[in-house]
Structure 1
Amino acid sequence: MAHAHTIEANPHWLPLNPKRAVEHIPGEDGWPFVGNTLKLLKDPLRFGNRMVATYGQVYRNNAFGGPTIQLVGPEANELVLFDRDRLFSSEQGWGPMLNLLFPRGLMLMDFDKHRADRRTLSVAFKPEPMRHYAEQLNRGIARAVTEWQGKPIRFYDAIKALSLDLAAESFLGMELGPEATKINKAFVDEVQASVAPIRVPVPGTAMHKGVKAREYLMDLFLREIPKRRSGDGQDFFSLFCRATDEEGKPLSNQAIADHMNFLMMAAHDTITSSATSLIMMLGRNAEWQDKLREEIASLGLNDDEGVPYGQLDRLVLTEYAFKEALRMVPPVPSMPRRALRDFEFGGYKIPAGTFVGISIAYTHRMPEHWPEPEKFDPMRFTPEGSRGRHKYAWVPFGGGAHMCLGLHFATMQVRILIAQILRRYRIELGPGAGETWQYFPIPRPRDGLPVRFVPIS
């Protein structure tokens, strides 16, 4: 199924284990062909809670085409993400879901190759480019939020469109124009294909739509590369095109296009999810709107002035609120890996070749690490509130060598967004807004989060 199909294109991957290799680990195989995929997609939090309650913090699950051993808790997160002994492959973990859609993206690389490309790409996240992006974000966000005044909107849809526009300016250095709708649909098709039950691109399936979307986007990127190499643009794309590795060699056209395809998706989809969860939490906790508004006012900005890059770090409470929203609704609820060698965890021996997953969403709500986990409490992230907490109890951006390359960009964009909204508006949610979410592949509220931004009198 999924694993077999992608392994054909990746001969260095470990062969599939026989099913009996992990039968000593308690768990459930689920229904024929689909396993527990549909149960997991329907309500992953409830499914995870039941599995841990029944089988413990190491359990066997069959979903998305094969058996996975789920490791739960901060210690599991540290083992897998920090990966001191290079036990786990990210490429072979994500590959069955993403290899037909985002091959050779940064998240689908391991060890030395990953380190080399990450170092080359990091040129776009240094202070001077980030200062440039902050100016663009302030302008773009201020322009958009003035149009949200007073009228009912679905925040998820509005911020998704805005995030794509912002990503186009900061990442691509171009206006999308009439192609914007087509480009957005292509990213949606790619992401939806990543969790499609049918894992081969048969015409008429979601995977087929995703593969065709990738072809369209790759053609878009590849057409642009030659002029970017010789230009002086300060957007991500142009910086990648001019970047060189440790030997002074530029990235190939194919590598640049592969990285852009993955990073554009990651940038606008995960920020859309994170910003939506934060707006929902602030809508439900009006006292926190007031606290953040007071903090924003303390910057002493003029009405039409954006938040200068050098002042962003002063929005401390805003950062705590964002972290708490990421705890409650992490944009990547779980992360897969594949064991390259035998290892032991939680009293079980787990053989090489096993697909392994960690549950970020579950860990973020473990009451022994997060008292009253259903309560929105940004003060958990003060130095005092964080003291003694396991370093890997909060991992919305991953950890170790694969820590999200764009985490500072994401935090910057959300700080600017909240500052631009709260200095103008009070957030009022529609009745029952955001009560149910679709958690995979990237969380989004099923109702789009109906909201009104009411001008502050």
Structure 2
Amino acid sequence: MASLAQAPETEPTFDHWSEGIPSDAAIAHIPGERGLPVVGNTFKMLADPHGFANRMIETYGKVYKNFAFGGWNVALVGAEANELVLFNKDKIFSSEQGWGPVLDQLFPRGLMLIDFDHHRIDRRALSIAFKPAPMRHYMGSLNSGIGSETAKWEGDMLFQPAIKQLTLDLAADSFLGIPWGPEADKINTAFVDMVQASVAPIRKPLPFTKMKKGVDGRAYMVDYLTRETNRRRTEGGGQDMFSQFATATREDGSLLPVDQVVDHMSFLLMAAHDTITSSATSLIYHLATKPEWQEKLREEVFAVTGGPDGEGNPRPLDYDDLGRLELTEMVFKEVLRMIPPVPSMPRRALKEFEFGGYRIPAGQLCGINIQWTHYSDEYWDNPQAFDPMRFTPDKVKARHKYAWVPFGGGAHMCLGLHFAYMQIKVLIAQLLQRYRIEATEGEGYKPDWQAWPIPQPKDGLKVTFKKI
């Protein structure tokens, strides 16, 4: 078999993900299955993606091919595969052309959908929004917004829709710098439609389809964000993330083109809104059904903040104290291991390469399975059990660096991961100073989780907040 060292010096390039797709004969040596005519295994994957992946790995091994969503994909499974693909030392893989079949009609040219020098230059420009000064500003908005909203949560509730709305409102404030209200609601509707369309089996925006609603949602967002970018460049903006992006400059001092600001902001809003909603819901589920861990985190929060004030109101978490919530961070990391918001990641091979004894040709769509790796007993003891102590510094150091990758890795590591940690820690500090969280149906409560496009409990997560 050809190895990387034997690859030709001049590799093919592809301007679009649909160009240069290898023939069936070129991947005939890779085990796998095509499934039903035309649709392949699309509906099997949508119905039970994790069960489907487990069966394929058991049947074919940690390199296999699968026909779904209109084409062949080669799965590369395990921490070693994660490292190869995410670290991307030899620039074999394109993130842009990997996500293209899923997102190019909805979130084109976002930070995750560009590669190499273009990605590096834009990422550096956008990173200004996550420097300490803006982060301190967001911290104040988070403390205020989360505190005022969670004060209304006493009693029985469905947590997932509540945190989804709160996350959107926080994004409208911290990200866009607009007040909560009807305009934020329109943005929410557009994003829901765009995310749902990302895994729609029908990939053309035909009337009455999810893809048509998603494309219409994108049109609304492009129009709104374009007007706002131009306004903020003319009139000036505030400390919100959008204003930081609108005035961000590249290394040569030039402003990012308006359409690129729009694409980056649209993608970041989607990524932050839905992934934080998913991970916060997963966290509250585990705290509600594991009261011993909830009490440990409450003790830590009280030790850091001093506990509620004399009137019983939670004390806000200070930006400089974020690092002191060590156990809270370990619990959150274990939640992300068990229910990663992005369970798999697609890429496209720009060069021929070899992995697991198989030669994969240039042009082939590939993917890694984060969920499977997070549950593999190759890297984790008793992986089905909830155990935040897996994330003590000594255990993290001893484990494969790419066995835990909920935020991705390498050059495309999530730009907003520190914002995500900050938002979650503020949420926990506010909730645990105010309430005891219980599963409405008892500690044995196990909701059915929808896996696509972002993990969430189908029943909305039934919890009860009891005033302390």
Shift of the alpha carbon at 1:275?
0.4
Cross-structure match for 1:388: 398
For 1:443, the equivalent position in structure 2 comes to: 455
After TM superposition, the structure 1 = structure 2 runs for residues 119-158 of structure 1, keeping only pairs within 5 Å, are: 119-150=124-155, 152-158=156-162
The alpha carbon displacement at 1:298 in A equals 0.5
Name the SS of the counterpart of 1:147 in structure 2: coil
Q: 2:354 aligns with which of 344, 361, 384?
A: 344
Check 1:430–1:21 CA distance in 2 against 1; reply closer, same or farther (3 A cut): farther
1:406 aligns with 2:416: yes
Kindly state the Cα deviation for residue 176 of structure 1 after the two structures are TM-superposed: 3.9
Given that residues 17 and 97 in structure 2 are in contact (C-alpha distance below 8 angstroms), is that contact kept between their aligned partners in structure 1?
A: no
Range that drifts further, 168-177 or 388-397: 168-177
SS state at 1:148 partner: coil
- Structure 2's unaligned 5+ residue stretches are 1-13
Q: How many angstroms apart in 1 are the aligned matches of 2:446 and 2:253?
A: 49
- Equivalent residue letter for 1:164: L
**What percent identity do the matched residue pairs reach?**
61
Q: Which residue of 2 aligns with 1:177?
A: 181
- State the Cα distance separating 1:264 from its structure 2 match: 0.6
CA shift for structure 1 position 218: 1.0
Deviation at 1:81, TM superposition (A): 0.1
Counterpart mapping for 1:222-233 below 5 A = 222-229=226-233, 230-233=235-238
2:212 to 208, 212, 217: 208
2:101 aligned with 1:106: no
The answer as to whether partners of 1:433 and 1:447 remain within 8 angstroms in 2 is: no
Aligned pairs for 1:38-437 (under 5 A) are: 38-150=43-155, 152-229=156-233, 230-299=235-304, 300-301=306-307, 302=309, 303-431=313-441, 433-437=445-449
CA distance in structure 2 between the partners assigned to 1:97 and 1:12 by the alignment: 11
Q: What is the CA distance between 1:386 and its match in structure 2?
A: 2.0
User: Take 2:96 and 2:361, find their aligned partners in 1: how far apart are those partners?
Assistant: 18
Aligned partners of 1:25, 1:278: CA distance in 2, in Å?
Answer: 39
Aligned residue identity for 2:167: S
CA distance in 1: counterparts of 2:314 and 2:56, whole angstroms: 52
SS of the residue aligned with 1:423? helix
SS at match of 1:123: helix
1:148 counterpart letter in structure 2: W
**Aligned equivalents of 1:75 and 1:175: distance in 2?**
45
CA contact (8 A) 2:341 2:455 kept: yes
Q: CA deviation at 1:343?
A: 0.2
Unaligned runs of 5+ in 1: 1-8
The offset of 1:271, in angstroms, is 0.1
Show CA shifts across 1:8-38 (max 9, x none).
x955864222122212111111111211111
Q: Is the Cα–Cα contact under 8 Å of residues 16 and 97 in structure 2 kept in the other structure?
A: no
Supply the AA of the counterpart residue of 2:157: I
Task: State the shift of 1:434 in Å.
Answer: 4.8
The Cα offsets for residues 311-362 of structure 1, whole Å up to 9 and x where unpaired, read as 1110000000000000000000000000001000000000001100000000
Look up the equivalent residue of 1:69 and give its one-letter code.
V
TM-score (norm 2): 0.93
Q: Is the contact between residue 172 and residue 184 of structure 2 (CA under 8 Å) also seen in structure 1?
A: no
In the alignment, residue 373 of structure 1 is paired with which amino acid?
A: P
| Contact residue 434 and residue 448 of structure 1 kept, 8 A | no
Q: Deviations over 1:277-313 (max 9, x none)?
A: 0111111111000000000010115434210100111
Q: For 1:382, give the aligned amino acid.
A: T
Secondary structure of the 2:463 match is: strand
Partner AA of 2:370 in structure 1: I
Q: Aligned-pair distance for 1:384?
A: 2.5
CA distance in 2, matches of 1:14, 1:178: 42
CA RMSD of aligned residues (A): 1.4
Q: Distance in 2 between matches of 1:359 and 1:335?
A: 7
| Structure 1 residue 232: Cα displacement | 4.0
Distance 1:54 1:129 in 2: 50
- Return the offset for 1:433: 4.7
Looking at structure 2, the residues matched to 409 and 219 of structure 1 have their Cα atoms a distance apart, in angstroms, of 27
- 1:217-237 residue CA offsets vs partner (Å, 9 max, x unmatched): 111111111221141411110
Aligned residue for 1:275, secondary structure, equals: helix
In 2, distance between residues paired with 1:135 and 1:437?
33
> What is residue 467 of structure 2 aligned with on the other side?
455
Measure the CA separation in 2 of the matches of 1:237 and 1:147. 29
- 8 Å CA contact retained: 1:434, 1:445: no
The number of residue pairs the alignment matches comes to: 447
Give yes or no for contact 1:267–1:406 (8 Å, CA) kept in 2: yes
